[in-house]
């Protein structure tokens, strides 16, 4: 093992231990045990729980010990102070302490923890952890994608028409109707998990073929985009440009099990946007 591989292995081990620790001490004990006053509305169709804030604090503390001094962009910290987003333009950690909070707050799965490390707007490493099953997806730029240490190659479902999980939640009315009319009929639709920590693995494991995301915040997508691309699928902006974590005002993202499935959906969305 060369020095680079050893450094990656050590980093993966440290982050995995932290993820398990946070899950066991904070996330799982709060699951299905939240009091009404421990859940707050953060925005329209978006909630935050005491577990989110406690988990983010513990993750930030732990990551600060793994790489001292590296700036941290946490979802809840950025909600409290949008200036935190400025850190995305340099090297930083990115944390989603509980992805799928609406599910978590309702006492149902899926939900997960997302951690990424980015440099100058580009994700270098990502971890996607399922606290309930213990599944850990990892990816490092140029090193492939893994689940629980086993290399993963993305594959399609093999279904015709392809299986699509399309998030309509954050689209405006016109986008939503156009998507229903011009995109949906070409696919076999399934419910979205409302959890990127679950959706990206589904795209790599032959469960779903394509997915459309309107809201593309860094903590939701940094780890998943890298993982899917490293697995040989394709996640990118609708015009095919690479996803960057520092474009926090930009919307629209496609994830696909194969580049061919990506191109097919992207072409349909471009035609829709051009009014056919």
Question: Would you list the domain boundaries of the chain?
Answer: 3-152, 163-273
Tens digits of per-residue pLDDT, 118-127?
999 999 999 9
Q: Over pLDDT 90: what percentage of the chain?
A: 89
Report the alpha-carbon angle 117-13-70, nearest 5: 30
Cis check: omega of the bond before 185, within 30 degrees of 0: no
Query: How would residue 170 be classed by pLDDT, with cut points 50, 70 and 90?
Result: confident
In terms of Cβ atoms closer than 10 Å to its own Cβ (0-12, 13-18, 19+), residue 264 is: middle
Query: How would residue 4 be classed by pLDDT, with cut points 50, 70 and 90?
Result: low
Query: How would residue 149 be classed by pLDDT, with cut points 50, 70 and 90?
Result: very high
- Nearest partner of 75 among 91, 89, 93, 61, judged by Cα: 93
CATH architecture designation of domain 3-152: 2-Layer Sandwich (3.30)
Mean pLDDT of 28-51: 93
* pTM recorded for the entire structure: 0.95
Mean pLDDT of 48-65: 98
Q: Looking at residue 8, what is its pLDDT?
A: 87
Spatial neighbors of 135 by CB under 8 A, at least 6 apart, are 129, 147, 148, 201
Query: How would residue 42 be classed by pLDDT, with cut points 50, 70 and 90?
Result: confident
CATH number of the 163-273 domain: 3.40.190.80
Which two structure tokens, joined as six digits, stand for 153?
A: 């190659």
Judged against a pLDDT cut of 90, whether residue 166 lies above it is answered with: yes
Query: Residues annotated as binding site for Mg(2+)?
Result: 75, 96, 98-99, 220
Average pLDDT, the chain: 95
Count of CB atoms situated within 10 Å of the CB of 105: 21
Mean pLDDT of 96-125: 98
Query: Residues annotated as binding site?
Result: 75, 96, 98-99, 220
Mean pLDDT of 3-13: 83
Q: Looking at residue 94, what is its pLDDT?
A: 98
Tens digits of per-residue pLDDT, 187-205?
999 999 999 999 999 999 9
Q: Looking at residue 230, what is its pLDDT?
A: 98
Contact 125, 116 (CB under 8 A): yes
Q: Looking at residue 248, what is its pLDDT?
A: 87
Measured between alpha carbons, how far is 33 from 251 in angstroms, rounded to an integer?
Answer: 34
């Amino acid at each position: 093992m060369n020095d680079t591989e050893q450094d990656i292995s050590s980093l993966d081990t440290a982050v995995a231990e932290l993820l398990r620790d946070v899950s066991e001490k904070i996330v799982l004990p709060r699951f299905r045990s939240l009091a009404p006053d421990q859940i707050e509305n953060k925005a329209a169709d978006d909630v935050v729980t005491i577990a989110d804030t406690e988990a983010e604090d513990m993750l930030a503390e732990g990551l600060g010990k793994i790489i001292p001094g590296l700036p941290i962009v946490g979802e809840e910290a950025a909600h409290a102070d949008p200036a935190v987003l400025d850190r995305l333009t340099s090297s930083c950690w990115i944390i989603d302490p509980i992805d799928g909070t609406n599910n978590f707050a309702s006492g149902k799965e899926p939900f997960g923890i997302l951690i990424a490390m980015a440099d100058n707007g580009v994700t270098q490493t990502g971890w996607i952890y399922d606290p309930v099953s213990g599944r850990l997806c990892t990816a490092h730029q140029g090193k492939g994608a893994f689940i629980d240490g086993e290399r993963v190659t993305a594959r399609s479902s093999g279904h015709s028409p392809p299986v699509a999980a399309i998030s309509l939640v954050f689209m405006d009315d016109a986008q939503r109707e156009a998507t229903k009319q011009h995109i949906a009929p070409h696919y076999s639709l399934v419910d979205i998990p409302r959890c990127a920590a679950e959706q990206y693995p589904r795209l790599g494991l032959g469960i779903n073929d394509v997915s459309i995301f309107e809201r593309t915040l860094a903590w939701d997508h940094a780890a998943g985009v890298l993982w899917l691309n490293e697995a040989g699928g394709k996640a990118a902006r609708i015009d095919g440009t690479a996803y960057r974590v520092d474009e926090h005002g930009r919307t629209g993202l496609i994830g696909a099990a194969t580049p061919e499935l990506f191109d097919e959906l992207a072409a349909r969305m471009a035609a829709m946007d051009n009014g056919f």
